[in-house]
Amino acid sequence: MSLITGLTKNGREWTPEFIKALEKDLCIGCGRCFKSCTKNVLAYEEVDTEETVKAYMKIANDGNCIGCKACGQNCPRGCFSFEPVEVRAFGYTS
């Protein structure tokens, strides 16, 4: 199995862990993850309830993720899960 890997500035190899899921039931809509992501992966979703409108976060552009995990590190509710991705999942060959 060959995973997508990258290089640090000094040439060390690392394996990104890409966004896998966001547990909507845990989300409080605080937006910390949204501010952390520079790749436009996340978006707000508004849900009407009887008394108010609640905002949650959702994965909007899954394919833009670079696997930095900044969103998860800044989430106070542990909403995110991540995983490395096989190169062949995208049809590339190494």
Q: At closest approach, how far in Å is the CB of 26 from ligand SF4?
A: 7
Token pair listed for 57:
């976060």
Find out whether 78 and 56 touch, Cβ atoms under 8 Å: no
Token pair listed for 33:
């993850």
Q: Which stretch binds ligand SF4 (CB under 6 A): 2-10, 45-53, 66-74, 83-91?
A: 66-74
Told to check if 36 binds ligand SF4 by CB under 6 A, we report yes
d(CA 37, CA 89): 23
Strand 42-48 and strand 6-7: the pairing is: unpaired
Binding residues among 12-31 for ligand SF4 as defined by CB under 6 A: 19, 22, 27-31
Token pair listed for 16:
């990104």
Q: Which stretch binds ligand SF4 (CB under 6 A): 5-13, 45-53, 74-82, 86-94?
A: 74-82
Binding site for ligand SF4 (CB under 6 A): 19, 22, 27-33, 36-37, 39, 41, 57, 65-71, 75, 77, 79
